[in-house]
Amino acid sequence: MLKQEQLEQLLTRAMQSNADFAEIFEEEGTNEGISMLNDKVESVNRNYKAGIGIRLYQGVQSVYGYSNQMDAASLQALVDDLRDALGRKQVDISVSLKEEIIENRHPVQIDPIDAPLQEKVALLQRADQAAKAVDEKIVKTQTGLSSVRQHVQISNSEGKLVRDTRIRTRLRVSAYAQQDEDMQSGFDAPGASKGLEFFEEATPESIGQEASRIALVLLEAKDCPSGKMPVVIDNGFGGVIFHEACGHALEATAVAKNQSVFAGKQGKQIASPKVTAYDDGTIPNAWGSENIDDEGNLQQRRCLIENGILKTYMIDRLNGRRMGLSSTGSSRRQSYKYEPTSRMSNTFIAAGQDSFEDMIGSIKKGLYAKKMGGGSVNPQTGEFNFAVNEGYLIENGQITIPVKGASLIGTGAEILMNIDMVGTNLERGTGMCGASSGSIPTDVGQPAIRVSSITVGGTANE
């Protein structure tokens, strides 16, 4: 990391231009991946990262440069490239930084990067053994442990200097079940902003068993029916529906340029009154949490929707300028190679008061989506899709046979209005979210919800 004096010199140099703001994001860190096929360790890879991203604003224009050439001459040349893009100017300014000390809300007990490799391999072996022990039809497993340690140092022309360390671990298991010619796979991969102590609560055994359970269910699953029907989406990763159908369209990235179906809707009813939703980057040790965002602002708990009314967007500094609003601490990026923008952190629908039994019991013919896969959305049109990894038919108020090969599609504005029951059992699930500033860790979450009508894309047509 650069010293304070070097940062002050670079920021002062950057401001000798038409820029009205300059920011330096530095990153050093290590990513480690260990993977096993069955009980054998297949690969152990490490990636040591170190780089810098420098950004200048002039009004709502931004210029961004990034490099991992950290010598003084290269950095000055990078700043000069950026100054040239905006136009150089003699300005009487001298940037002086004052370090902010922040509280670490996400303390880690066992640093996953420093922990001995054998200790980490042992976690994967436990997951493999537990997955195989579920049933003899489980013929194969692939397991992996990802560990990340990222140190960031963020400084800007307003005098901010702040540092943070983000540590994350995630264990993934794919279990393969075979019956005659048919092979099906199940997947589970929880993660947290924790060290290896995370696996005392999310045990490798429980992760392996869950992956195997899903694979075995899919062996028995029939083709999913098609068409519009009521759907109960279970808690945890089911929250991907809110992430896709609504979350992305509430990011300033889309809103500031009027490229969202929810632009201009603040204070208006955009969802059923049953829906209250948050994006909360402060949850201690959650997968999508961090102490500060990637512009150095403290992370926040943001109430996005309260009883169906749109309360706030997720806003970064640059888009805040376009919108005439302050940052909500929502600026994130995958690494120094990406210019940051507004992104989600841990996004979830708050618990309601409806019982799961009432939701299922209220449906004559529909789908119970127990485990969701990923999805995507076009914020401009609000059209979204996401995959159902484990689903069951609901017939006459009862959960009946498992079904496979289903996806759910719709438009965000319509689906939010169609959420007519919200359960009590709020949980969050681990995911990675891809967008213009790269792939970042995000939690999604919700209690079980009932959507009165949504298009189910299946393979069985009646």
CA distances from 42 to 22, 35, 115, 441 (A): 45, 6, 19, 25
Query: How near is the Cβ of 435 to other proteins at its closest, in Å?
Result: 13
Of 216 and 422, CB closest to other proteins: 216
Mapped onto helix, strand or coil, the DSSP state of residue 234 is coil
Q: Is 43 buried (19+), middle (13-18) or exposed (0-12) by CB count in 10 A? A: exposed
267-306 binders of other proteins (CB under 8 A)? none
Phi, psi of 87 (to 5 degrees): 105, 125
Of 135 and 306, CB closest to other proteins: 135
| Site stretch for other proteins (CB under 8 A), options 101-109, 230-238, 357-365, 377-385 | 377-385
299-328 binders of other proteins (CB under 8 A)? none
Of 196 and 283, CB closest to other proteins: 196
Query: How near is the Cβ of 104 to other proteins at its closest, in Å?
Result: 25
Contact between 176 and other proteins per CB under 8 A: yes
Of 39 and 99, CB closest to other proteins: 39
From candidates 88, 98, 228, 365, binder to other proteins by CB under 8 A: 228
Cβ atoms of 180 and 166 within 8 Å: the answer is: no
Contact between 37 and other proteins per CB under 8 A: yes
Give strand pairing partners of 213: none
Task: Retrieve residue 343's tokens.
Answer: 């992104």
Of 105 and 140, CB closest to other proteins: 140
Query: How near is the Cβ of 60 to other proteins at its closest, in Å?
Result: 8
Q: Where are the beta strands (DSSP E) in 239-307?
A: 277-280, 301-306
Mapped onto helix, strand or coil, the DSSP state of residue 386 is strand
Q: Give the whole-angstrom CA distance, residue 148 versus residue 291.
A: 16
Q: Give the whole-angstrom CA distance, residue 270 versus residue 286.
A: 28
Of 34 and 360, CB closest to other proteins: 34
The CA dihedral of 254, 257, 260, 265, to the nearest 10 degrees, is: 120
Q: Tell me the chain's radius of gyration from C-alpha atoms.
A: 24
| Site stretch for other proteins (CB under 8 A), options 99-107, 289-297, 399-407, 419-427 | 399-407
Query: How near is the Cβ of 251 to other proteins at its closest, in Å?
Result: 14
Of 283 and 377, CB closest to other proteins: 377
180-199 binders of other proteins (CB under 8 A)? 182-185
Q: Give the whole-angstrom CA distance, residue 376 versus residue 379.
A: 9
| Site stretch for other proteins (CB under 8 A), options 264-272, 360-368, 408-416, 440-448 | 408-416
239-258 binders of other proteins (CB under 8 A)? 257-258
Of 394 and 422, CB closest to other proteins: 394
46-85 binders of other proteins (CB under 8 A)? 46-51, 60-70, 74, 78, 81-82, 85
357-376 binders of other proteins (CB under 8 A)? 373-376
Cβ atoms of 194 and 107 within 8 Å: the answer is: no
Q: Give the whole-angstrom CA distance, residue 277 versus residue 406.
A: 26
From candidates 16, 150, 362, 380, binder to other proteins by CB under 8 A: 380
Task: Retrieve residue 316's tokens.
Answer: 């970064």
Cβ atoms of 44 and 34 within 8 Å: the answer is: yes
109-138 binders of other proteins (CB under 8 A)? 117-118, 121
Query: How near is the Cβ of 242 to other proteins at its closest, in Å?
Result: 16
What's the full length of the chain, in residues? 462
Of 228 and 364, CB closest to other proteins: 228
Q: Give the whole-angstrom CA distance, residue 394 versus residue 401.
A: 8
From candidates 4, 381, 418, 425, binder to other proteins by CB under 8 A: 381
From candidates 199, 242, 386, 392, binder to other proteins by CB under 8 A: 386
- Pick from 185, 228, 231: nearest CA to 391: 231
From candidates 20, 111, 306, 383, binder to other proteins by CB under 8 A: 383
Cβ atoms of 33 and 185 within 8 Å: the answer is: no
Task: Retrieve residue 97's tokens.
Answer: 């930084």
From candidates 236, 247, 296, 410, binder to other proteins by CB under 8 A: 410
| Site stretch for other proteins (CB under 8 A), options 176-184, 231-239, 299-307, 416-424 | 176-184
Give strand pairing partners of 152: 27, 164
Q: How many residues bind other proteins (CB under 8 A)?
A: 80
Contact between 398 and other proteins per CB under 8 A: no
